[in-house]
Structure 1
Amino acid sequence: MIMALFDTFLIVMAIFLMAVIIIILISGIRIIQPYQQGLWILLGQYRGRLNPGFNWVLPLVSNVIKMDLRTQVLDIPKQEVITKDNSPTNVDAIVYIKVVDPEKAFFEVTNYHIATIALAQTTLRSIIGDMELDEILYNREVINNKLRDILDKATDGWGVKVEAVEIREVDPVGTVKAAMEEQTSAERRRRAAILLADGNKRSAILEAEGAKQSMILKAEGTRQSKILEAEGSRVSKILEMQGQSQALRLLSLGAVPLDKKALTVLSLDTLAKMSNGQATKIIFPFEISKLVEQSAKYLGASEEFVSEIGKETDIEKLVGKPDDVLGRIPNPDELRSEVQSIESQLKKDLIETTKTAKDVRKMPKVEGINEIEDLK
């Protein structure tokens, strides 16, 4: 019985020892991922790197440190920084790092994450403190590049490379932000005042140009109207005088063969027409007795009639030829040609007036109008 128990104990102990040995052997297995690098430390001594994949080390006395070789993102906590122009500002950032030398990243610094964050905070405070608030707001790219270069140089001894730095937020404190808003509002009011003044200036210039063009066109219209009226009056007078001269010619030529009998008949006919009028008082420009005497002689035919008027040649001797006395009267063709010449000249004047108006419209624009539109 005792022997059976002892055999059972030996079997259990053998199984236990074998299990312990297997567990110890299994504990020496290390699996390194493709993005990792293993550091093997045996009894306090660095024995070398372990490549990605299956690795076996001495169990119980070995320590394997796995270093992540991927790009890591570190969040720089928000901190209050005093700028060069004494404006308190809250600034935070993001740093992208990558381990390039696992031995240095583990043996040269206690914790490269904390060390990098602390260094980024102090460096960011130093850079922001040397700049004014406006420079910080408008020159973030410059700050990013400068901070990256400083951090990369400092972390090179730790086996860490700083790939990029990005300023995430620049938030001035409440009083500074209120002052900035008031400044922005004042600037916009100033620009609005400039726009209004330039708009009034532009409006006044356009009104002046319109008034100038209106006066020019009105003056040209008045001048052309007066020219037309003068030319029309001249042509009308010429035509009227031409008609009168022709009537005088006909009258003078028709009166040449008249004798005293004809004149007496005409006088009596005129006297009869005047007696039919509505006037109560009539003034005769000749003596009635002479007219009656001449009528009696004409009716009695007792005296021989001798012409007192004379012949046509006698009139030309006394007053001259009709063309010499009246002057040369233009014929209808000459008058028509002169009217066409006047109309042609008026058309030329109208073309010149239109060209002058176009030149006025092409006046150079007021300087600063493009800038005003940009401000809009």
Structure 2
Amino acid sequence: MISVLPIAAIVLFLLMSALRVLNEYERGVIFRLGRVIKAKGPGLILLIPVIDKMTRVSLRIVTLDVPHQDVITRDNVSVKVNAVVYFRVVDPVKSIIEVEDFIFATSQLAQTTLRSVCGGVELDDLLAHREEVNQRIQDILDKHTDPWGIKVTTVEVKYIDLPQEMQRAMAKQAEAERERRAKVIAAEGEFQAADKLTQAAKIIAESPQALQLRYLQTLREMSSESKAATVIPVPLDLLRMAMKP
């Protein structure tokens, strides 16, 4: 009886070490005597004690925060840029045997790619065409992480920190642009008003009765105003007739 207990304990220990339970989002990469067998899971996994070893790999999307990077854009503007990268494991075997730490490797690759891509564009493109910059970074990351069994799903540039001098310069530029638009709008208004006045002058020149009606309308408008003195306009034709010898 005493000799049976150690044997039962050893059998129970080996049985417990041979059983593994993997969640729905997990896969287990099985190594048998150092060689990869395959990825198993989810559910109950049976291993050969001492011979088999298993490494868990999560298939869920990983959110990677890329810290601020000092970047000099193509037009020689120094900015700080950070981003966020979303990726997931699509091949558990490659993510284990092709790279030592795929999360750390993806993080370092994302930092260098962010600096190189943002340094190759001008500041205006970085601010106005951020979607294109995001897509370029994603394509480069996805190309380099594909041999690792990693799929980069989304890259978003979160924040662009501009120097105070550049912010003031951009504010002056925006103010000058607004003033230019205001002057253009005012000039277009003057042009349209002059064009309408020219058309009205042609109509009055062709129909003298229109000038008389306009004269009477002006008198009515002036008489309706409550003023101490009333100025009555005199047509230029009457002045010319009076000045003739």
TM bracket (short chain): 0.7 to 0.9
Q: How far off is 1:168 after superposition?
A: 2.6
SS at structure 2 position matched to 1:85 = coil
Q: What is the aligned counterpart of 1:141 among 116, 131, 134?
A: 131
Name the counterpart of 2:64: 74
The match for 1:164 is 154
TM-score by length of 1: 0.51
Q: How many residues are treated as equivalent by the alignment?
A: 212
The answer to whether the 8 A contact 1:88-1:176 is kept is no
Q: Does 1:190 align with 2:180?
A: yes
Deviation at 1:187, TM superposition (A): 0.5
Contact 2:204 2:211 (8 Å CA) reproduced: no
RCO higher in structure (CA 8 A, sep ≥6)? 2
The answer to whether the aligner puts 1:150 opposite 2:140 as a matched pair is yes
What do the CA deviations read for 1:67-125 (whole angstroms, capped 9, x no partner)? 12233332222222110111122222222222222122112211111111211111121
Tell me the CA shift for residue 203 of structure 1. Answer: 2.1
In 2 relative to 1, CA 131–220 (structure 1 residues): closer, same or farther, beyond 3 Å? Answer: closer
Q: Name the CA shift for 1:37/1:221 in 2 (closer, same or farther; >3 Å).
A: closer
Give the aligned CA root-mean-square deviation in angstroms.
2.5
**SS of structure 2 residue aligned to 1:30:** strand
Contact 2:57 2:92 in 1 (8 A): yes
Name the stretch that deviates more: 38-47 or 173-182.
Answer: 38-47
Q: What stretches of structure 2 of length at least 5 have no aligned partner?
A: 213-245
CA drift of 1:30 comes to 0.6
- Give the one of 153, 174, 179 matched to 2:169: 179
- The alpha-carbon distance between structure 1 residues 221 and 125, as it changes in their structure 2 partners (threshold 3 A), is closer
The amino acid of 2:104's aligned partner reads I
Partners of 2:38 and 2:93 within 8 A in 1: no
Q: How far 1:14 moved relative to its partner? A: 5.3
Q: More helix per residue: 1 or 2?
A: 1
Aligned with residue 117 of structure 2, among 113, 123, 127: 127
For residue 51 of structure 1, the aligned residue among 27, 38, 41 is: 41
Structure 1 unpaired stretches of 5+:
1-9, 223-376
Q: Which amino acid aligns with 1:195?
A: I
Give aligned-pair identity as a percent. Answer: 38
TM-superposed CA distance for 1:188, in Å, is 0.5
Secondary structure of 1:122's match?
A: helix
2:82 to 59, 80, 92: 92
Q: Secondary structure at the match of 2:207?
A: helix
**Residues 94 and 148 of structure 2 are in contact (CA less than 8 Å); yes or no, is this contact kept in structure 1?**
yes
Distance in 1 (CA, whole Å) between partners of 2:191 and 2:161 is 41
Q: 1:214 to 1:117 in 2, by over 3 A?
A: same
Q: Which has the larger radius of gyration?
A: 1
| Partner residue, 1:106 | 96
